[in-house]
Amino acid sequence: MLHGEGVREAVSDSRDLQVAGLVPLSSVDWPGRLVATVFCQGCPLRCPYCQNSAILDNRTPGVIAWSEVESFLKRRVGLLDGVVFTGGEALRQEAVIPAAESAADLGFDIGVHTSGMFPDRLERMMHVVDWVGLDVKARPEDYK
């Protein structure tokens, strides 16, 4: 199930974030909140049921520069509750940490959708994370 992982990424900044897409307004990605959803490019998993299979390839560059996302967010201060980073796998990229910090500095609450594959990265960004949506990759009978 793992694909294209194994090389440790260098420390990066938010400009390095490969953004595959942006949903400017979502009421479903963080329960009870109105958020912008940032889709991060790439995922090490190849789940056959993935709803975002078009953005799984880690080698594909992002289609939206983080600076464009940040400009959008600056115009939405006071209108949105938060920003959700998802994917692919949101935590695959080191640059998600400074990107989340940047969004938090604008006053947004920060949410993350993750499979939990990069717990060290999640731990290093918990100082800005307000909500985590953990996607359990198992059959219900295996985790209940």
User: Which DSSP letter does residue 122 get?
Assistant: H
| pLDDT (average), residues 42-65 | 79
Strands 35-40 and 109-114, bridge-based pairing: unpaired
Residue 13 has a pLDDT of 79
Torsion of CA 80, 85, 87, 89, to 10 degrees: -160
Please, which pLDDT band fits residue 94 given cuts at 50, 70 and 90?
A: very high
| pLDDT value, residue 1 | 42
Return the higher-pLDDT residue of 49 and 24: 24
The residues near 119 (Cβ < 8 Å, ≥ 6 apart) are: none
The rounded radius of gyration (Å) of the Cα atoms in the chain is: 14
pLDDT of residue 98: 96
How sure is the predictor about 142, in pLDDT bands with cuts at 50, 70 and 90?
A: confident
Q: Domain 14-143: state its class.
A: alpha beta
* CA dist., res. 126 & res. 21, Å (int): 23
Please tell me the distance from the alpha carbon of residue 25 to that of residue 79, in angstroms, as a whole number. Answer: 10
pLDDT of residue 69: 97
Domain ranges of the chain: 14-143
pLDDT for residue 40 is more than 90: yes
Question: Model confidence at 33, in pLDDT bands (50, 70, 90)?
Answer: very high
pLDDT of 119 above 80: yes
Quote the CA–CA distance of 25 and 80 in Å, as a whole number.
Answer: 8
Taking the C-alpha atoms of residue 92 and residue 115, their distance in angstroms, rounded to an integer, is 10
Question: Strand (E) positions, the chain?
Answer: 19-26, 35-40, 82-86, 109-114, 131-134
Kindly tell me if the per-residue pLDDT of 89 is higher than 50: yes
Rounded to whole angstroms, the Cα distance separating 35 from 62 reads 21
When pLDDT is averaged across residues 95-118 and rounded to a whole number, the result is: 97
Give me the mean pLDDT over the 93-99 stretch. 96
